[in-house]
Amino acid sequence: MIVEEMICPLQTAADRDPDGLALLAPHRSYDWQTLHAHVCGAETKLRHAGIGEGDLTAIALPPGPALPILVMALIRIGAVAFPVNTRFPAVFLINILDRVRCRNIIVPYGASISTVHAHLYGLAPHDLVEFPENGRRAAPLPLGRPATIVLTSGSAGPPKAALLSFGNHYHSALRSNRNLPLAAGDRWLMSLPMYHVSGLGVMFRCLIAGATVVFPGAKEGIAEAIPKYDITHVSLVATQLHRLMEDADGVAALRRLKAILVGGGPIPESLMRRAHAAGLPLFATYGLTEMASQVATTRPGDPIDKLLSAGRPLESDTVRITPEGEILVRGETCFLGYVEGHEILRPFSGDGCFATRDLGRLDVDGYLHITGRKDNMFIAGGENIQPECIEAALCRLDYVAQAAVVPVQHEEFGCTPVAFVRLAPDATLDPARISTDLANALPNFMVPRRFFPWPEEDPAPDAKIARKDLAALARRLMDASQRG
């Protein structure tokens, strides 16, 4: 059996441009040669700690240079890096680590290691990343070797632990860079967390292109960070783009950029049209954890009608649509499977396709359009309702910035659609007006029976819509109005 290997991209970058800027943070910067030395030092420390090939190691650190250093060091020694959300409650985190049989965790000095962590081997980042070694060259990296575990969003249940190879990340970054130009001298803001595949994708894209990863300060917003660090590229979810578009400084900052990659979930049409009209360099994308980030992305210079799609597949013959409209994906970026205990569950068809449970279609130009998700469909009065269809109609109204539709139990119809709407500036919530406007675009059974303002307890900007939480909130609000 032939094992495909390649020279470590970090070694290549250090050889090609040793003095080029690799990582930038408020109080620290690394050129490629220095970054390579710190990764080499971390490798030695990890091995001395008894971590080796195949060992799963969680990384629970705030954003900063230690994260990419440790991820790369773990990958280079053949271990599996598992960046986790530091906001996870301790018991929730331990349950996840137990599910995947993880026994090592890297946490900051002073982090509380409670009794529920007692079976974990804890390591401090300073003891790993602050001992650079110069002069050592990296061994070639097998493309098929497991490299990372990334949790899925959990939009269809508890998060799953997706196992990705080094080759998955490498090919994903390579295809992204061919479509969305990135080169030495460019700077990509780490505006999404590295425990998401989108954040890891930024690291790998910059590593391969020789571009700079920039970590902003803990209290620095995106609008402030872009001019301060001379950012050229940024990845945003719809919530982040919406907030920036509401602020004149945010719009001015975005206009400085070469590229704005927008994805991570549905993007309201009204938001994309506003951003396009403002002259922003937009790239719409569709991706998923199981495909190491991007699957399809729009091309440079695409017109607005194409920006309202999810773009064209980055590689031919990687996207298929079933007769029922489900999106199937496959190819070199497709993950190894889900880790569950000692097993790796491989949910693939005979021809290697993974069923995403997302619904979509390909237009005549080969652009992918996302129409919903199989898990979100519900039945009201015998009619199948795809909430994303209603949300899209709501977001085409010029006074609606964002919308989410959820089902609520109804005695007569079984379920009825209820909508939460985030309004455009200076607009007021007028349910009668919204219902009238929607009646021109949707059949009567799809028009929501109630409209509520977007919840004040807005999720974190990088979070997807928590439909289960919104459905529970809708029930409480409707019960309260009935009692009143």
CB 34 within 8 A of CB 23: no
CATH class of 5-371: alpha beta
- What pLDDT, in 10s, does the model give residues 293-317? 999 999 999 999 999 999 999 999 9
| Token duo for residue 429 | 């919530």
Confidence of residue 275 (pLDDT cuts 50, 70, 90): very high
Reported as a single tens digit per residue, the pLDDT across 435-455 is 999 988 888 888 998 999 998
Helix (H) or strand (E) holding 100: none
- Asked whether residue 116 carries a pLDDT value surpassing 60, the answer given is no
Residue 458: pLDDT over 70: no
Phi, psi (rounded to 5 degrees) for 219: -105, 10
Q: Assess whether pLDDT exceeds 60 at residue 110.
A: no
- The contacts found for 441-447 with CB under 8 angstroms, 24 or more apart, are 441/393, 441/396, 442/389, 442/390, 442/393, 445/380, 445/381, 445/383, 445/385, 446/383, 446/385, 446/389, 446/390, 446/417, 447/390, 447/417
Q: What is the pLDDT of residue 1?
A: 44
SS3 of 143, please?
coil
Query: So where are the chain's domains?
Result: 5-371, 377-483
Query: CA-to-CA distance for 442 and 437, rounded, in angstroms?
Result: 9
- Residue 163's pLDDT is what? 98
pLDDT at 121: 84
User: Which of 46-55, 261-270, 452-461 comes out lowest in average pLDDT?
Assistant: 452-461
Cβ pair 388, 266 in contact under 8 A? yes
Looking up tokens 């954890």 gives 289
Mean pLDDT for the chain?
A: 90
Q: Does domain 377-483 have CATH number 3.30.300.30?
A: yes
Q: So what's the pLDDT on residue 457?
A: 66
DSSP 374: G
Cα(143)–Cα(69) distance, integer angstroms = 19
What's at 135, amino acid-wise?
Answer: G
**Residue 353 in this model has a pLDDT that exceeds 90:** yes
* pLDDT over threshold 50, residue 156: no
Q: Which pLDDT band holds residue 460 (cuts at 50, 70, 90)?
A: low
Condensed to tens digits (0 to 9), the pLDDT of residues 191-222 reads 999 999 999 999 999 999 999 999 999 999 99
Stated pTM of the model: 0.85
Q: Residue 90, Cβ neighbours under 10 Å: how many? A: 13
Identify which of 358, 307, 304 has the alpha carbon closest to the alpha carbon of residue 328: 358
